[in-house]
Structure formats: structure tokens, C-alpha cells
């Protein structure tokens, strides 16, 4: 499973990455965490605000810092 964090590296983006790792580890799934920092690529994925979360290339959230529990729901 590919988990993409969309953002330029702001504190919220970093926290979202931490929360995504926590969620994936809690579920015990194999994952690859990718940080997408290129604004053009972020917009191309459909995110108009950061931080954003995409799973396997599909945008799940943008402009919101999700909790590990919220991310777990997307990963199931």
C-alpha cells in the first residue's frame, strides 16, 4: 500500500506523516510512505489545500490534519 503525504513540509504535514505511520503500524500492514512536495503534483492529484493524504494515488483528504484513527478507516 502506498501512502502519500501531500504538502511542502509544514508542521501539519509532518504530523500527518507521523499519524499515517502510526495508523499503518497499528493495522500491521505493509506500506510505503511517500512525501509529495511538488506543488504542481499536489494540485494535479486534486488537493487544493495541504496537508493532503492519498492512498494508492487516490486523494482521501486535503486541508485537514487527520488523526491516526481517521487514517486507519481509510487504510482498511
Residue 22: give its domain's CATH number: 3.40.30.10
How many domains in the chain? 1
**Is 35 one of the catalytic residues?**
no
Q: Which residues of 11-20 are buried (b: 16+ CB within 10 A; e: fewer)?
A: eebeebbebb
* Containing structural domain, residue 13: 2-75
pLDDT digits (tens, 9 = 90+) for 12-27: 999 999 999 999 999 9
**How far apart, in whole angstroms, are the C-alpha atoms of residue 31 and residue 19?**
13
Strand pairing partners for 12?
none
**pTM here?**
0.94
Burial class (CB in 10 A: 0-12, 13-18, 19+), 40: exposed
Average pLDDT over the chain, rounded to whole? 96
Mean pLDDT of 43-51: 95
**Is 56 one of the catalytic residues?**
no
The single residue of 10, 29, 34, 73 carrying the catalytic annotation is 10
The single residue of 3, 5, 13, 17 carrying the catalytic annotation is 13
Beta strands per DSSP E along the chain: 2-6, 32-36, 52-55, 58-62
Amino acid at each position: 500500500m502506498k501512502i502519500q503525504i501531500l504538502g511542502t513540509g509544514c508542521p501539519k504535514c509532518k504530523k500527518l506523516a507521523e499519524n499515517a505511520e502510526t495508523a499503518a503500524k497499528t493495522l500491521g500492514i505493509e506500506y510505503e510512505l511517500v512525501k509529495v512536495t511538488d506543488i504542481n503534483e499536489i494540485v494535479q492529484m486534486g488537493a487544493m489545500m495541504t496537508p493532503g493524504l492519498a492512498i494508492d494515488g487516490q486523494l482521501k483528504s486535503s486541508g485537514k490534519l487527520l488523526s491516526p484513527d481517521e487514517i486507519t478507516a481509510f487504510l482498511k
